[in-house]
Amino acid sequence: MYHDHVLANHPGWKETYRVVRNRFYWVGQKNDVRLYVGACHVCACTKPLNARPDDPIRTRTPRQPWEVISIDLMGPYPRTAKGKSYILVATDCFSRWTEAYPLGTATTKTITETLFTFRLSTCVSQR
């Protein structure tokens, strides 16, 4: 088919259909060409996808302090005298205020407990 010809350069289904339609005709031609081009292995491996992501990522703009925070876990670093080898960094996205907390282990439990303590201390200090 025209789509696979060395000089055709694997055009899309519309261009392939236009060229084929000028020389041939059969019932269901448009659908056949669309399916043929859609099943082309070379195109699937080399052509970019023209589809948008289903759910584009949008940043959440905070309206007040501590409404949105960003966290980052850094480490492991060499263990300190107090047994800490990780740093949990929490940043308020509204004010850009940043606090760092040393952690001994990087488990879900310690991170959650530290963030909960962080949230309680900021709520109490805001009042």
45 vs 6, 41, 70, CA distance in Å?
17, 6, 37
Domain with CATH 3.30.420.10 in the chain: 69-126
Taking only the tens place, the pLDDT of each residue in 12-54 is 889 888 988 999 999 999 999 999 988 988 887 877 766 666 6
> Can you read off the two tokens belonging to residue 1?
């088919």
Write down the CATH number for the domain with range 69-126: 3.30.420.10
Q: What are phi and psi of 103, to 5 degrees?
A: -125, 145
pLDDT, residue 127, reads 47
Rounded-to-integer distance, Cα 16 and Cα 21, Å: 8
42, 10 in Cβ contact below 8 A? yes
Three-class SS of residue 114? helix
